[in-house]
Amino acid sequence: MIIPFLLGTGVGYVLGTRAGRERYEQLSRAYRRVADNPSVQGAAGVARAKAGEAVQAGVSIAKDKVQSAGGGPSGGEPTAPGRAAGNGAHSAER
């Protein structure tokens, strides 16, 4: 969480000021030192894993809700307003 904030702060500073190339290089070196730190990389890996778990949990909850609303394998596909439920085939009759 703190890495994106620091990165955004650094980018905002560089883009929002006229500090010049020297200051940009200084900030770039500092960012690389932080980003290459093994403990920072480990924390970023943990954060990515937690985010992946949260996404999977959300997908599972969404699937359960769709199935309980009748959109699961036994309930057919959910329909949009104005569309008839069925096998998805469009009628040629009008």
pLDDT, one tens digit per residue, over 30-76 is 989 988 999 988 999 999 999 999 999 999 999 999 988 875 555 55
User: Is residue 58 included in any domain, yes or no?
Assistant: yes
> The domain containing residue 54 runs over which residues?
2-71
pTM metric for this prediction:
0.42
User: Is residue 11 included in any domain, yes or no?
Assistant: yes
Structure tokens at 67: 């199935």
84 pLDDT tier (thresholds 50, 70, 90):
low
CB contact set of 23 (below 8 Å; sequence gap of 6+): 14, 17
Helix (H) or strand (E) holding 16: helix 2-16
User: Is residue 35 included in any domain, yes or no?
Assistant: yes
User: Is residue 91 included in any domain, yes or no?
Assistant: no
User: Is residue 41 included in any domain, yes or no?
Assistant: yes
pLDDT, residue 60, reads: 93
Looking at the structure of the chain, the number of domains it has is: 1
Q: Tell me which DSSP letter residue 17 carries.
A: S
User: Please, are residues 85 and 79 in contact by the beta-carbon 8 Å criterion?
Assistant: yes
User: Is residue 87 included in any domain, yes or no?
Assistant: no
User: Please, are residues 55 and 31 in contact by the beta-carbon 8 Å criterion?
Assistant: no
What is the per-residue DSSP string for 23-80? HHHHHHHHHHHHHT-HHHHHHHHHHHHHHHHHHHHHHHHHHHHHIIIIISTTT-----
pLDDT, residue 2, reads: 78
Question: Which of 4-18, 34-48, 75-89 has the highest mean predicted lDDT (pLDDT)?
Answer: 34-48
User: Is residue 93 included in any domain, yes or no?
Assistant: no
User: Is residue 40 included in any domain, yes or no?
Assistant: yes
pLDDT, residue 62, reads: 93
